[in-house]
Amino acid sequence: MPTDAQLPKPEKPAIWSMLAPAVVAILLIVALPKSFYWHPAFLAPGRNVAFRMENGAWLRLPELPGDPEELRVSTAGTVWATVSRYGEPDELARLDGSVWRLYGPAEFGECGVDTSAGLALDGEEVWAAGYGGVLHWDGAHWKCYREAAGKAMASAIVAASGQVWLIDSGGNLSHFDGNQWKTAKVELPGVKWGDRDTYAPELARTDDGSLWILENGLWRSDGTGWMPVKRGGEDFEDAALVGSGSDGIWLWANERLQLVGPAGILGEFQPEEMGFRPGEAMNQAARTGGHTYVATSLGILEFDGANWRRLPPLGSGVRAVEAIRAGAHGELLAVGNIPNPTGLRWGFLRPAMPLVLALALLAMPVWMVRNYKRSRLSDHVRLQQAVAHATGAVPEEFARDERLLARQSSWWSATVTVGVIVGAMVAYSITRMFWPAVPPWMFLAITLGLHAVVTLGQTLVKRTPKPWDPIEPGGPGFDWGPTRRAVPASLVVFTFMNVGAFPKWMGDPFVWLLCGLSLAMWFRVAGEKLRVRVLRRGDYDGALKLVRRFRFYNPEGGHALLWRGHVLVLAGRFREAEETLRAAVARLRSRTAQAHALEFLGDALMGQGRFDEAQRSYEAALHAVPGFRRPYRGMAEVALQRGGDAARALEYVENILGPTGLSWNQWVNARHSKDDYWSLKAWALAELGRGAEAATAAGEAIRRTNPKSRPDLATTCRRLGMAMKALGRQAEAEEYFKRARDADPHGRWSAQVGAMLGEKSAWRA
């Protein structure tokens, strides 16, 4: 039974339109950190494979589930490899026949393994740096020495003769003498640990017992101290360690390969004599059987002591040789890289993915702001329709607000709102980089500056004047709308950014917030409770005074007019109530408050006998808030007072409770509904001639009515008097009318019940 057939049907709220951005934002927040470690195989520039030379030919070793980085061969010929996998923890692998045996998190536990520090073999024992210590394989089990964990990231590890040395990026050298670990800071003249962009000192050991450190120069220790190693007065500051052997270490320094031993430079080779091709880069060097092997970005070079030659390619599509290693018995192993054309072509996706996710995450607030503004625009349109239906016209303020909300609900406006906040955060962060002591209020200053820049910038954009633009000297003023909403949001961001500093400024901010909210809540609750208590006594002048006192900060605001109009309706001052409520309708923008105002306006119009206007006002209240059931009381009252439509009135009465009982809106907005339900039902049943049912409903109405509330008791008794009159039971009707008059002698129904008793006019102006 549509009661607002002339009004457009309300759109169902799309709950997912509000929830979807929040859900997507949560997913993006989870995915963004992971995107920095997103390394799918199809985007890898290449994959590493391992080879071993047998009978002068390279034989490809079994596949590994990741990329082998370093190969080592024990004295017994056991091959070990460090393995890295994109997005997975590093592992170690041992070749058992034709199968790799992998060791990973299951064996290492919380200690983990850091393959960037390499791998050290001492006989059949294996040593590797872990994130929580040093790992040791004794041939049967893994053990983690947590006491060897340094304060910085492990950089290199070497082992020999039952001893182990580990150096980290902070210059801490840990030594295991076979029984216990000791850690000491390496003091090198002129070296400030961690002072360079790369904090990865290299460590090596030669058979004479010398330890070598490459960090901002080359240093050697024979157990007594660290001495700088120089060549012709020049140090090795920019050198790179590319290999080590029994007699010395291999350095790539000053664009040439140098073998450095305790006695000095043992060998030196220029790229031209080695046969380097244009663009070829050095990777690693190894020496075995009197031959020197060099792994480069274009293959392997061999030096037999007299001449350099290029070995045949490894095969399998390998282009670059990443590592080369000699075994204890002269065997040679290599790690080659097979280029991935797809990865080279689409490699930009890896750095682009975090950027795309970050931009998408920034787009979520824009989406949410736009959805919120669109919902506000939709609510405003519904209010306009309701007000137009009730009053026949729409105030100019409503049309102006609709234009404003339409602009604010655009993608551009939402982007500017979020952009000002994000831009202020970025600018504040950059400012702190150059001015660490920047005061916190600078964030708000930057926000206001961006706010002004955007607003003033919009004035430079030419646009066609609109008919509603105000006529002002020099044209229309600035439109602060797009960025104005960013200012309060920036205050919230500022609060979260400086929540730790608030106690120094003003004490505990949460106490202030809690006290402020509590005071506001109790002020509102106290005003509501006092107003209801005074109204129940029928003291309408006192209620008007309370409204003025508790709305002192805005006495002509929409809510103040709303509750003042309500009191005037209950007092029977219908014309004053109408004027006040029409003013409230023009000022209110809350749908719930507007529905109340339209319902009260319907009561004021009905009190003046203007039933058609009252009916439209009730219908408008229903349209403003679908599910709001209070207006059905007035609509039933109008139908009964008009007469001849009791069946329709009974349908309205049943809608007070709805098909499944009291709705949530009714509990919140009506509170006392069942007394209205039963009293109106008794009246409607009486008009239909159903006397027995009407009598039962009348008894239920009296039981449901609060006897301490004069307006409620007067309303119930008046309706029951009308019911008894319809049934022809005049004596009972007069008794109910008298009770109504005595209960609320100054209320809205006093004039009508007086007329029923033959005392005065039925309608009061």
- What does pLDDT average to in each consecutive run of 10 residues of the chain (765 residues)? 53 65 85 80 82 88 89 90 83 92 90 88 92 90 86 87 90 90 87 66 88 89 84 78 87 89 85 92 89 92 92 89 85 90 81 88 86 83 83 80 80 82 83 82 76 65 52 47 56 62 57 72 85 90 91 87 93 93 88 90 92 92 85 92 88 77 40 79 93 93 92 92 92 92 89 73 42
**d(Cα 330, Cα 287) in Å, to the nearest integer?**
9
Contacts of 617 (CB under 8 A, 6+ apart): 390, 598, 599, 601, 602, 605
The conformation of residue 267, written as its DSSP 8-state character, comes to E
**d(Cα 583, Cα 556) in Å, to the nearest integer?**
9
**d(Cα 715, Cα 702) in Å, to the nearest integer?**
11
Give the start-to-end residue ranges of the domains of the chain. Answer: 17-31+356-500, 627-765
Q: Are 490 and 417 in contact (CB under 8 A)?
A: no
The CA–CA distances, whole Å, from 318 to 50, 202, 329, 394 equal 10, 28, 26, 78
Overall pTM > 0.85: no
Provide the β-strand partners of residue 337.
48, 320
pLDDT score of 718: 93
The pair phi, psi for residue 690, each rounded to 5°, is: -100, 75
Collapsed DSSP state (helix, strand, coil) of residue 254:
coil
pLDDT score of 764: 42
H or E segment and range at residue 345: helix 341-346
pLDDT score of 494: 63
SS (H, E, C) 177-198: CCCCEEEEECCCCCCCCCCCCC
pLDDT score of 300: 93
**d(Cα 197, Cα 207) in Å, to the nearest integer?**
32
Residue 68 burial (C-beta neighbours within 10 Å; 0-12, 13-18, 19+)? buried
Nearest Cα neighbor of 124 from 182, 186, 58, 80 is 80
Q: Pick left, alpha or beta for residue 408 (phi over 0 → left; psi -120 to 50 → alpha; otherwise beta).
A: alpha
**d(Cα 589, Cα 383) in Å, to the nearest integer?**
8
Structure tokens at 192: 């400030």
Q: Which CATH number fits domain 627-765: 3.90.1150.10, 1.20.950.20, 1.25.40.10, 3.60.20.10?
A: 1.25.40.10
Residue 231 burial (C-beta neighbours within 10 Å; 0-12, 13-18, 19+)? middle
Strands of the sheet containing 57-60, edge to edge, are 57-60, 46-54, 332-339, 320-326
